[in-house]
Amino acid sequence: MDFRDCYGRDPEGSWRAPGRVNLIGEHTDYNDGFVLPFALAQGVTVTAARRDDGVLELRSLQSPDALRVTDPEPGRVTGWAAYAAGVAWALRKAGYDVGGASILIDSDLPQGAGLSSSAALECAVALALCDLYGIEVPRPELARIAQRAENDFVGMPCGIMDQSASLLCTEGHALLLDCRSGLSAQVPLDLTGLSLLVIDTRAQHELVDGGYAARRAACEEAARLLGVPALRDVEDLAAALRALDDPVLRRRTQHVVTDDHRVQAAVGLLRAGAVAEVGALLTASHLSLRDQFEVSWPEADVAVEEAVRAGARGARMVGGGFGGSVIALVPADRAEGVRAAVTVAYADRGWEAPRFTDAVPSAGAHRVS
């Protein structure tokens, strides 16, 4: 089925936005910290044409639903369509005069795998609507508009990382993003002799179920008690931990502060060409996410343990947590062994077989036709 089959007319163009893997720096974005994502080759493609009546027609090749949205407002649109409708709403709220559109969505990103299919959808729709209506929006601002769609329309209090990665990443690089200033830098990610293996643990995650919001609220409370604007501003971690009476807030603070430092260490190693040495930072980040931030899950812990045992230089869960994927930095000649070891470990536990993808640092969102 193509656009003409759905809408009975030709499209005006197609736009594609990638998913992302965050190499390191998890739950640091909404703490005004640093992240280091890169774009995937997999993503979301939006094919679209203008409508002159202001209506948004939304269809997805991954869903049987066909929706017409006449007046997008928070709470009126749910499910996958909310991410698309929310972008139109956020663009209009930002003062951009975007009208209606017929939109067909296709994706080769697995939903619920923690690879940011939602941000890819938002960014593809944002590019499409801007191009259709001749609107020039700087990419960092467009990322903030897409983030607002997810925060205020969908109701998921994400940070700015996923939208920035989808819009700003370049091929062969990771994106060092300062989530406070919005400033970014491209960092070479040369995988010669190595593979970045994404392991979809097949444990679906839903970040709108409250666990993510609870972690964000805890971080904000810790920052308030410490008298800093955000946990990024903690300079003396030991003193901060002594000042917090609540053991949960201490654990959340320890993770955020140390993962911010791991991002900076990883950038130094990548710029020095010591990519394999980043592996130890990945594993340390996973242990912190498991023990201090408490967002890991059994399938991820097993995948990390088995990957490292089989020769990975390091591995960690990626995404917001509670399900999704693991990334492993693997010498190229060990990749098949890592795949086999994780697969056997899952089978031994009666779990659904994991899925594997070679993650190739790819280009950000763009018009494809």
Residues belonging to the binding site are 26-29, 60, 112-118, 150, 212
CA torsion 67→69→74→76, rounded to 10°? Answer: -60
CA torsion 336→337→343→345, rounded to 10°? Answer: -170
- Cα 2-119-222 angle, rounded to 5 deg: 165
Q: Are 289 and 256 in contact (CB under 8 A)?
A: no
**3-state class of 76 per DSSP?**
coil
**3-state class of 331 per DSSP?**
strand
The binding site for substrate consists of 26-29, 212
**3-state class of 237 per DSSP?**
helix
| Cα–Cα distance measured from residue 345 to residue 201, given in angstroms and rounded to the nearest whole number | 12
- Taking Cα atoms as reference points, which of 206, 226, 208 lies closest to residue 216? 208
Neighbouring CB atoms inside 10 A of 367's CB total 12
Written in H, E and C, the secondary structure of 164-230 is: HHHHHCCCCEEEEEECCCCCEEEEECCCCCEEEEEEEEEECCCHHHCHHHHHHHHHHHHHHHHCCCC
- Beta strands 56-60 and 100-107 are parallel
Active site annotation includes 32 = no
Half-sphere exposure in the Cβ direction for 148 (13 Å, CA) = 16
The binding site for ATP consists of 60, 112-118
- Beta strands 173-178 and 100-107 are unpaired
**Active-site residue, selected from the candidate residues 32, 106, 162, 200:** 162
Edge-to-edge strand ranges of the sheet holding 56-60: 66-69, 56-60, 100-107, 37-51, 13-22, 366-367
Structure token digits, residue 299: 């399938």
Neighbouring CB atoms inside 10 A of 66's CB total 12
Residues with a known catalytic role: 162
